[in-house]
Structure 1
């Protein structure tokens, strides 16, 4: 069976992604995907997308709000835009989306089938089944409004879809992975992400097989009208309380808090300190040319260390998605404005590394991997600034880095003077 990987509580957020960030998310999301495919293959990218902790970290490293439901929409949209020109090269196709786009998924999958030779009709059926199961078979109070279907040329796929509960102002994200999927109705989810709200009606649980069969038999023997009359008759008398069900499946879940600011408790600080130390240690040796750029180079290497972990990190390292917001901030100024100059350099470095790797020149991608390796080696040894000090420094330096948010550009008129960042000479 496919694995269950966890759940999370995602606060519902309104608003939109501004064009200046959406364009950058498109480019960075595509090049990170390319790097993963280069190192580990297409199926590994699907496995990452089916991992809710990694998915949230992926969105955070791209400058989206680190904890919100909007990460799902923005990441799926960025991948759809960014990977479309690369479909022929990578063999990865992103279909669906939010609202009306989700309803077009079966037609898009048929078109993919016509281009690639895979069974588009079967993929469309899978899309409809997945949506129906999470909207009807699993009755948990969340109404689906987003359905993303990512499929490869050989017919392997991942589905990321999301529902909302307006009353609770919460969202739940569901992850499906075709790898190892034997049944759509017996524990099929790769992951379910959302708040725990007590017992739910889950007819996609393997233990609900008898219930599904009984419901069909009841429908066949009585018919829908008779069932409706019986149900109405039950409304006049209070039925005795049923014994509480205590053996529902419990999944590990990531609780994304309602507060907008990133707090120290949201970050595993030693991991971040190790990434910053790795940037200082490996940066002069591997990114000497980048560090010649005045005032920005050193900070870009730190962002690259976070991106490198998204590409290479083990699953357990994504337990604190908030940490990845250090790379490129957040559009709502949490934990700090998006450092646009840093963001653009990150994209340029990643693009250069991937383009050269296509030609057999993997030195730059190897440098990024060394950056991640060094971060892991330093995790037990590195120390440094507290999270509050890190955020304070980033806010102070934001005008220098081209800081920008939905509230505008950081003008720096009231910013305190800062010293030029330097790194030690190469070793």
Structure 2
């Protein structure tokens, strides 16, 4: 399992018109069903976790190829497409934009209760992946959209998006469950964006010592840490720091540090998961670690540049509704043929099994 990519897009206002969104839902359902039949649910998750493939899917569905809205609209169309057929397809989507993102744990629990699988690992993956992108990778983007797509077997991918209002840019983060070795060290396999920001990156490989030192500090008596943090306020820090001394206010940290002291987190992932530990807490610990232990801070942005039916904003051309509807019909026919062919193959295998048993 590892993070499979990040994509940056300009913020665009507006939403998909109802006539387009209705077609997006229909085409999404056809694509998902056909891919499950032909490739399987796990491969579908792999593709959705690929930022390039996801962007192509948005183009096929007729949305703006470079708009921030492609994330919310495409995942919204997928969620609507699966509504009522989640158990038949064996694929579930929880979460969404703003308040809907906060409902993710309860949605997972509801699906788990009706299908008989354990919700806890999925809830954990949802919560920690969001915490990493919002707190451990401090790139200036605040999450406002989060969905997790998963199977009954516990495989999942996360697609979430943050916003930088100053840059008027959105950044999309993709996660995949199959090969993840760590939530907190180099979780990116491919990072795709066209805007780099000054980033305090706790997940960088070179931040290994910083993560360890932060855990050690979080286990210390709060009074000791506050004493050291107050020393920082008396120092003139180098200009290279993305955090200023004004960000470090000892009185606001005491309650959080008391909580970590009582919890005694065993590793950085456990520290990160602690309720109340946010970006400012980690920045304060980072500066204190550098002062006490000389641990280097990484400011490497984990982003690298990279980059049917027409588009909502008439780019590269207006959506061709007739062509769009024809595509949906063709895919529906392909699904029916695939189902028939699959039935015939299963019947042949059964016949073969009976012969070999004689």
- Name the residue aligned to 2:69: 70
Q: Following TM superposition, by how much is the alpha carbon of 1:187 offset from its aligned partner in structure 2, in angstroms?
A: 2.2
Distance 1:88 1:238, change over 3 A: same
1:83-94 aligned within 5 A: 83-94=82-93
- Name the residue aligned to 1:111: 110
1:333-412 aligned within 5 A: 333-360=314-341
- Name the residue aligned to 2:141: 142
Structure 2: 5+ residue stretches without partners: 242-295, 344-358
Q: What CA distance in whole angstroms lies between the structure 1 residues aligned with 2:115 and 2:298?
A: 46
Distance 1:156 1:6, change over 3 A: closer
Q: What CA distance in whole angstroms lies between the structure 1 residues aligned with 2:297 and 2:152?
A: 43
Distance 1:197 1:249, change over 3 A: closer
Q: What secondary structure sits across from 1:28 in the alignment?
A: helix
Distance 1:352 1:178, change over 3 A: same
Q: Which whole-Å deviations, capped at 9, do the CAs of 1:149-197 have from their partners, x for residues lacking one?
A: 0001211000000000000001111100000113222223454443442
Q: Following TM superposition, by how much is the alpha carbon of 1:38 offset from its aligned partner in structure 2, in angstroms?
A: 1.6
TM-score normalised to structure 1 length: 0.62
Distance 1:248 1:167, change over 3 A: closer
Q: What CA distance in whole angstroms lies between the structure 2 residues aligned with 1:226 and 1:194?
A: 41
Q: Following TM superposition, by how much is the alpha carbon of 1:229 offset from its aligned partner in structure 2, in angstroms?
A: 6.2
Q: What CA distance in whole angstroms lies between the structure 2 residues aligned with 1:236 and 1:165?
A: 31
Q: Which whole-Å deviations, capped at 9, do the CAs of 1:185-242 have from their partners, x for residues lacking one?
A: 222345444344244222223432321221232233351x664565455345422355
1:90-101 aligned within 5 A: 90-101=89-100
- Name the residue aligned to 2:7: 8
Q: What CA distance in whole angstroms lies between the structure 2 residues aligned with 1:236 and 1:246?
A: 23
- Name the residue aligned to 2:174: 175
Structure 1: 5+ residue stretches without partners: 256-326, 363-427
Q: Which whole-Å deviations, capped at 9, do the CAs of 1:118-168 have from their partners, x for residues lacking one?
A: 220221111111111110111110000000100012110000000000000
Task: Answer whether contact 1:47 1:177 (CA < 8 A) is retained.
Answer: yes
How much is the aligned-residue C-alpha RMSD, in angstroms?
A: 2.7
Q: Following TM superposition, by how much is the alpha carbon of 1:86 offset from its aligned partner in structure 2, in angstroms?
A: 2.4
Q: Which whole-Å deviations, capped at 9, do the CAs of 1:349-371 have from their partners, x for residues lacking one?
A: 11121123212279xxxxxxxxx
Task: Answer whether contact 1:172 1:195 (CA < 8 A) is retained.
Answer: no
Q: What CA distance in whole angstroms lies between the structure 2 residues aligned with 1:251 and 1:143?
A: 16
State the structure with bigger RCO (CA 8 A, min sep 6), 1 or 2. 2
Q: What CA distance in whole angstroms lies between the structure 2 residues aligned with 1:165 and 1:48?
A: 26
- Name the residue aligned to 2:121: 122
- Name the residue aligned to 2:232: 234
The count of corresponding residues between Structure 1 and Structure 2 is: 290
Task: Answer whether contact 1:175 1:191 (CA < 8 A) is retained.
Answer: no
Q: 1:32 aligned to 2:31? A: yes
Q: What CA distance in whole angstroms lies between the structure 1 residues aligned with 2:236 and 2:137?
A: 25
Q: What CA distance in whole angstroms lies between the structure 2 residues aligned with 1:171 and 1:178?
A: 24
1:107-256 aligned within 5 A: 107-223=106-222, 227=225, 230-231=228-229, 234-235=232-233, 237-241=235-239, 248=300, 252-255=304-307
Task: Answer whether contact 1:164 1:172 (CA < 8 A) is retained.
Answer: yes
Q: What CA distance in whole angstroms lies between the structure 1 residues aligned with 2:136 and 2:298?
A: 19
TM-score normalised to structure 2 length: 0.74
Q: What CA distance in whole angstroms lies between the structure 2 residues aligned with 1:105 and 1:193?
A: 26
1:328 counterpart (309, 314, 325): 309
Q: What secondary structure sits across from 1:96 in the alignment?
A: strand
Q: What secondary structure sits across from 2:128 in the alignment?
A: helix
Q: What CA distance in whole angstroms lies between the structure 2 residues aligned with 1:252 and 1:240?
A: 26
- Name the residue aligned to 2:53: 54
Shift >6 Å, 4+ stretches: 243-247
